[in-house]
């Protein structure tokens, strides 16, 4: 705990990210407080996904640092960042399509229990009753008990997303990053997902959401940061952001699709 304010779970400190001539992130400074749902919004190409990729170790920033829980995580490998307590839901659901729903949720539980690598090839998966039960519990949590033995590649997009969420939740992450959790979903699926995320929020899990859908943002976020052309142009509570003229110009008024 080197940060002065111990309520800050994730601190993105003066991050710059350049791709050749493109300045994708410029001097981004962001603090995510414990237990809060922090939404990052902005028009297409504003650098939202880049920011998330910097946080999970997919990209290493040109300069600046990402500090998670008092520890600098820039330059760490994705699995190390996950082991430190950061889980991520991707824009297109990343699951194990060849495995069953149960196996999909069991795998992350093993990562949590056994660490990044364990050569346990003489153990019997059938004897792991504890992990099996825990996985079943989290599958129930996202309302997929009926599909527990289903082949996950055949699920609908909404179900894949819920499955991916269960895979993240079973790890009890300190920080959950969600990249457009409702992208490409029907209105019904979107609403189910919002309900689910509200339920998680009540448990006090810290979340960062990147989202296009303002309905989702305003129903979930405690705090919103607005990103435009790689810079944070506004930050505040949903009401403050809604009424900010700069935001209306850059995003809500100007660039809505």
Partner 1 sequence: MFALPKKQLIIFVIFALVVLTMPLWMSPLGAAYPGLLQKFAIYGLLALGFNILFGLTGYLSFGHAAFLGVGSYTAVWSFKLLTMDAVPAIILAAILSGLFALLIGYVSLRRSGIYFSILTLAFAQMSYNLAYSVLTPITNGETSLQLSLQDPRIIDLTFMERGQGLPTVSLLGIDMSGYSGFYFCAVVLIMGFFIAQKITISPFGLMLKGIKSNQNRMKYTGFNTRPYMLSAFVISGIYAGIAGGLLAVTDPLAGAERMQWTASGEVVLMTVLGGAGTLFGPIMGAWIVKYFENIFSAFNDTVLHNIFAFVPEGFREWVVSCAGLFVGEGWHLTLGLVFVIVVVFLPGGLMEGYRRIVSKFGAGKPNQPNSSAPDSPAPVKQPAE
Based on CB atoms, which residue is closest to partner 1, 22 or 125?
125
CB 12, min distance to partner 1, A: 18
Q: Which residues of 57-83 are buried (b: 16+ CB within 10 A; e: fewer)?
A: bebebeebebbbbeeebbebeeeebbe
Angle at 107 between CA 147 and CA 54, to 5 degrees: 110
Specify the residue, 68 or 90, whose C-beta has the smaller distance to partner 1: 90
DSSP one-letter string for 100-126: BHHHHHHHHHHHHHH-S----TTS-GG
Q: Sign of torsion, CA 138 144 147 153?
A: negative
Shorter beta-carbon distance to partner 1: residue 179 or 235: 179
Question: Which residue number, 31 or 152, has a Cβ lying nearer to partner 1?
Answer: 152
Distance CA 93, CA 165 (A): 9
Closest distance of CB 219 from partner 1, Å: 11
Nearest-approach distance from CB 190 to partner 1, in angstroms: 8
Q: How many residues appear in the chain?
A: 257
Distance in Å, CB of 25 to partner 1, minimum: 20
CB closer to partner 1 out of 141 and 179: 179
What token pair was written down for 49? 């996904």
Quote the least distance from Cβ 248 to partner 1, whole Å.
13
CA-to-CA separations, 236 to 38, 171, 200, in angstroms, rounded: 10, 30, 22
**Minimum distance of partner 1 from residue 236's CB (angstroms):** 19
> What are the residues whose beta carbons fall under 8 Å from the beta carbon of 18, sequence distance 6 or more?
24, 62
Token pair for 65: 């640092």
Interface with partner 1 by CB under 8 A: which residues? 56, 77-79, 82-83, 87-88, 90, 94-99, 103, 106-108, 110-112, 114-126, 128, 151, 153-158, 167, 171, 184-187, 189-190, 212-216, 256-257
* Nearer residue to partner 1 within complex by CB, 121 or 203: 121
């Amino acid at each position: 705990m080197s940060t002065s304010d111990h309520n800050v779970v994730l601190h993105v400190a003066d991050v710059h990210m350049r791709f050749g001539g493109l300045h994708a992130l410029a001097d981004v400074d962001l603090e995510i407080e414990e237990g809060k749902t922090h939404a990052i919004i902005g028009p297409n190409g504003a650098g939202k996904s880049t920011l998330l990729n910097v946080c999970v170790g997919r990209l290493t920033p040109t300069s600046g640092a990402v500090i998670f829980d008092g520890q600098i995580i820039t330059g760490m490998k994705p699995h190390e960042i996950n082991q430190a307590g950061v889980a991520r839901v991707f824009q297109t659901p990343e699951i194990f399509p060849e495995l069953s729903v149960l196996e999909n949720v069991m795998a992350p539980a093993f990562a949590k229990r056994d660490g990044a690598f364990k050569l346990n090839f003489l153990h019997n998966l059938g004897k792991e009753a504890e992990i099996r039960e825990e996985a079943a519990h989290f599958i129930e949590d996202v309302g997929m008990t009926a599909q527990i033995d289903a082949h996950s590649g055949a699920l609908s997009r909404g179900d894949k997303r819920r499955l991916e969420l269960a895979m993240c939740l079973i790890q009890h992450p300190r920080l959950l990053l969600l990249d457009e959790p409702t992208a490409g979903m029907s209105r019904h699926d979107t609403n189910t997902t919002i309900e689910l995320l509200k339920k998680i929020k009540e448990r006090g899990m810290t979340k960062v959401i990147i989202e296009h859908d303002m309905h989702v943002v305003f129903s979930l976020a405690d705090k919103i940061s607005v990103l435009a052309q790689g810079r944070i142009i506004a930050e505040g509570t949903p009401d403050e952001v809604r009424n900010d003229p700069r935001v209306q110009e850059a995003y809500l008024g100007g660039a809505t699709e």
